[in-house]
Copies of this chain bind each other. A is one copy, B any other.
Amino acid sequence: MQRYFSSQTYEESQQSALVLSGDDFHHSIHVMRMKAGDQCYLVFADQVAIIAELTEVLAETVSLREVSRETQEKELPVAITIASGYPKGDKLDLIVQKGTELGAYQFVGFPGQTSVVKWDAKKLNKRQERLTKIAKEAAEQSHRLVQPEVTLYSQMSEFMATLANYDHVLVAYEESAKAGEHGQLVKTLSQIKPGESLLAVFGPEGGLSSQEIQTFLGAGGSLCALGPRILRTETAPFYLLSAASYQLELLKNV
């Protein structure tokens, strides 16, 4: 069943009729070919989700009525931010799409010292818009209550200035994997508490420089391996998010 995000809170939505308009109107009627009587999910800005039924299709909007509330917990109990040193090609698209499905709370991009691509402010804005759209579509498809935000920094220093905002900072490090490190991820995921935030940092294809590693360590980050195999820059976030879900959503509930 299709899922649409509203910019209103659930409370606000009660002040007037429920409608879909703009892109969501177009998608529901012209792509999904929905008709009166069909149902969809509506997700509000305060993470309330309802099942709604189409009551009437007008020229530019669709009217809906609430059928029931969605009660199942769909969001990870902790807010995980995936920070990627700019990788080549469209790998960031893949990271954002799959990372959203796997439960990431937000995405950050930064120019790593070994990043090959150099994006100017205009290009960064365009990329950020495109990635935000990818995150929105993946959030709808994967039944999320949150549309992850995407922030692309043009300077490493801007990104570093945000590190103090997070409760935990993990830095995925290839050399840790090679050295057989295996305790840090388990330690962090075992200690993190519901509602806390975790920043996970991933280098570009060429990895993080030793200077960058020192900077992250100096800012309170911990190095971690994601198993003994060497993962590509776009694959490592999938491992971290899946492990977090396994530890915090499956193991905790057994």
Contacts and interface: CB of A to CB of B under 8 A. Distances in A.
A121 to B, nearest CB: 31
Given A73-B228, A242-B242, A235 B102 contact: yes
Interface size class of A (residues with CB under 8 A): 35 or more
Interface stretch (A13-21, A58-66, A164-172, A175-183): A175-183
A154 interface: no
Interface in A222-238: 226-232, 235, 238
Given A72-B180, A178-B72, A254-B186, A238 B242 contact: yes
B250 A141 contact: no
A128 interface: no
Contacts of A73: 228
Interface of A: 72-74, 98, 101-103, 141-144, 178, 180, 182-183, 185-187, 226-232, 235, 238-239, 242-243, 245-247, 249-251, 253-254
A226 B183 CA distance: 23
A251 B250 CA distance: 14
A231 B183 contact: no
Nearest to A246: B243
